[in-house]
Chain A
C-alpha cells in the first residue's frame, strides 16, 4: 500500500511539474516529458512488470489532461515501460551514463511512437520535420534531467519497498 501511494505521489508531482514549472522552461520550444522519464527510470530499476503498470498509470493520468482521444499516452507508456524493463537484462555496463543514454533513446522512440499513433488517428497535424525535432529535443531534455531525478526516484522507490521480516 505504501508503495502504491508513493508511486501515485510521484506521478501526480510529475504531472504538476510538467504542466506548470517545466511548461515555462522550454528548451528550443520543447518541454520535457516527465511521465516518460518516470516510466523509463522505474522500468529500468524494477523491470518490465512494474514498468508496464506504472507506464499505463502515467499515460492514463496524462491522457486525462490532454485534448486528445484518451488512451494514446497510456498505450505508448505501457509498451515503453515493458520494452525498457525487458531491455535492462541486456545492459551489463556499470557506467553511470547508462540511465541517461537509455532515457534519451527510449524517450525519442516513445515520443515518435506517440506521434505516429496520433497521426494515424488524425490528431497530429504538424509536419514530419517538426515531429522529428520534438522527439529529439524531448529526448535531450529528458537526458539532461536524468542525473538530477534518477537518484531521487531511486530513493523513493527503494524506500517504499515492503520490508521483509525474517523470523529466527
Chain B
C-alpha cells in the first residue's frame, strides 16, 4: 500500500487515481465489449464464478432462512393470493388449451411454424448481482455450454415457462442475466383475455409497466386475473428475442379513464426473483437483434 507521506503527496496520489478512473470510464465507454478493459472484466468474472458458486452452495440454506424471515409478513398475504390464483388457473387451463389448438391451426395456415420449446440449457444461479441500481444474476453456464448474449432465460414447471430475463454478458463458464425487473428492460407482451399487445417495461422493485394498451381495453373483473405472455414478431431484419407464450406476469392494477388514450397497466412478475435458484437458458436462433 502507499507509504505514509505528506499532504502534497496525498493530493497528487488522489489526483492520479481520479485521472486513472476517468480514463478507465472514457476508454471503456468508447470501446464497449471489444476493448481490453472488457476483456479484463471477462477474466475477472471467469475467476470469480467458481468462488461465487462455492460460496453460494455453502451459504444458500442460511441465506434462504434469513430471506424467509425477512419475507414473513408478506407470506401470509401471498398464501391467500396463491389459493385464489390456483382456482383461477384451473379455470384458465381449459380455456388456454382451446386457444393453443386454435393458435396451432392458424400458425400452420400462415406457414409461420415456430418452435415453442427451443433447445435449452439448465443453469444454477451462483450470484444475485452486486448493485442496488441494476438487477442482474449470474449463472453457472457460459459460452462453453452454448449460452450466447441475448438468449432468453426462463424458469417454471410443467404448467409452462415464466420469463426471468435475457443473457447480457457471457464468459466461457458463466453468464450475467439481466432480469425482467431491471429499469429499462422491455419485452413485447400480450394480454391473455383481450389479446391487446404492448411493451412491458421493468421498474426495479416496483411492478412492471405495460405500455401502449388502449384505455378502452376490457379487463377481467372480480376474482379473475389477467395474464401477460410474450409475443414474437418479425419486421424486416428485426426479430423479437423471445419465443411466444412465456408467462411474464399477471396484471396487478389498471387505471383507465381521463384524457389519456392509453391505460396505465401494472404487471406483477410471475417469478419470485428473491428465491430464484435454477433457470433454463433458451438457445434461440435469433439472439442478436431487436
CB distance from B182 to the nearest CB of A (A): 9
Q: Which of B3-56 contact A (CB under 8 A)?
A: 3-5, 9-10, 13-14, 17-18, 20-26, 28-29, 37, 40-41, 44-45, 48, 51-52, 55-56
Distance between Cα atoms of A66 and B128 in the complex (Å):
12
Distance, CA A31 to CA B48, complexed state (A): 19
Determine the chain A residues whose CB is within 8 A of the CB of B204 once the complex forms. 126, 130
- Give the residue of A7, A23, A125 whose beta carbon is less than 8 angstroms from that of B127: A23
Shortest A138–chain B CB gap in Å is 6
Assembled-state Cα–Cα distance A3/B4 (Å): 14
Summarize A's interface: helix, strand, loop or mixed.
Answer: helix
Per-residue contact bits, chain A 44-82, to B (CB 8 Å; 1 contact, 0 not): 000111101111100111111111111110110011001
A55 to B13, CA, bound (A): 12
Q: How far is the CA of A53 from the CA of B14 in the complex (A)?
A: 8
Interface size class of B (residues with CB under 8 A): 35 or more
User: Cβ of A138: which chain B residues have Cβ within 8 Å of it?
Assistant: 132
Given known contacts A18-B130, A78-B14, what 18 new A-B pairs fall within 8 Å (CB)?
A3-B1, A16-B51, A24-B128, A30-B132, A31-B132, A49-B13, A52-B2, A52-B10, A60-B24, A61-B44, A64-B40, A65-B130, A66-B130, A66-B134, A67-B178, A68-B131, A69-B25, A124-B133
22 A-B pairs with CB atoms under 8 Å apart are: A4-B1, A7-B1, A15-B48, A17-B55, A19-B48, A19-B128, A24-B64, A29-B205, A48-B10, A49-B9, A52-B2, A52-B17, A53-B17, A54-B1, A62-B130, A64-B44, A64-B45, A68-B131, A79-B18, A126-B133, A126-B183, A130-B205
Query: B-side interface residues toward A, CB under 8 Å?
Result: 1-5, 9-10, 13-14, 17-18, 20-26, 28-29, 37, 40-41, 44-45, 48, 51-52, 55-56, 59-60, 62-64, 66-67, 70, 126-134, 136, 138, 168-169, 176, 178, 183-184, 204-205, 274
Q: Top 7 closest A-B pairs, CB basis? A: A23-B128, A71-B24, A75-B21, A71-B25, A24-B63, A64-B44, A125-B183
